[in-house]
Amino acid sequence: MKLFNYGLALLIVCVGLVVHDLPSLVLAQSTPLVNGIIVGIETNDNDQLITFVVSDSTGTLTTFKVSDSTKYGLENQAGDRWVTSHKDGSEEAARRLSEHQERFVPITVSYSEATEDSGQITGIATSVVDREQGKLETNLGYIFAVFAITWILFFAYIFYMGRKQKVVQYEITQIKASLK
């Protein structure tokens, strides 16, 4: 009975979370991304980054504006990571992106508020990171796999213990009956 209660409570919580989080997960899955190399950078008089242009593998150019909330996760040639927001490092961002442009380092940009004007896409970059081994959107499949496997195994183990408990219960009943 205890095992059943535990399984039921966990199941209710998990189903509730799926229902609650499904919209945000779907939204995350539909966040637009561009993978490509930087082909242009625009800075202001203070050397702070204003816009940059990325060319993807098909040659499509996308212009990205940056905002204070834009986040960066970029590595230099030595492999040192630099993580910050535009608000805290707009000059360093321009310098790092210039370095990426010179080295033709591929990056991944997630963006919002995309507009398209005569084939030219423009958006506000929300994050700029070194291109990952896999695309960010396909990574959600790995998260799903991890969480699904974990909970399936835990529930399977609880089920296995429930079966064992049933056998023990049956044996106790038989012994009690034989002693009457």
Partner 1 sequence: MTKVINLIVSPIALSAVLMGTTLWLIFVWVPTETNQGAVQRILYLHVPIAWGAMMGIIVVSAGSFLYLWKKNEIWDRLAVASAEVGVVFGGLALLTGMIWAKPVWAVWWTGEAKLTTTLILFFIYVAYLMFRAYFPPGTQRQRLAAMIAIIGAIDTPIIYFAANLWSQAHPPLITGPAADSESSLGTSLGVVLLASTVSFTLLFILLVKMRYEIRKSEDEIKHFKRNHQLDSAVLNNISQARGTS
Given the rule CB under 8 A, which residues bind partner 1?
Answer: 2-3, 5-6, 9-10, 12-14, 16-17, 20-21, 24-25, 28, 71-73, 81, 83, 127, 129-130, 132-134, 136, 138-140, 142-143, 145-147, 149-150, 153-154, 157-158, 161, 163-168, 170-172, 174-175, 177-178
**Is residue 18 a contact partner of residue 151, using CB atoms and an 8 Å limit?**
no
CB nearer partner 1, residue 115 or residue 145: 145
- Distance, CA of 67 to CA of 69 (rounded, Å): 5
- Distance, CA of 107 to CA of 129 (rounded, Å): 6
Q: How far is CA 48 from the centre of its chain?
A: 28
CB nearer partner 1, residue 40 or residue 134: 134
- Distance, CA of 157 to CA of 151 (rounded, Å): 10
Smallest separation (angstroms) from partner 1 to the CB of 139: 4
Smallest separation (angstroms) from partner 1 to the CB of 124: 16
> On the CB side of 53, how many CA atoms lie within 13 Å of its CA?
10
Smallest separation (angstroms) from partner 1 to the CB of 16: 7
CB nearer partner 1, residue 114 or residue 146: 146
**Is residue 42 a contact partner of residue 50, using CB atoms and an 8 Å limit?**
yes
- Distance, CA of 74 to CA of 76 (rounded, Å): 7
Smallest separation (angstroms) from partner 1 to the CB of 97: 15
Smallest separation (angstroms) from partner 1 to the CB of 120: 26
- Distance, CA of 50 to CA of 63 (rounded, Å): 11
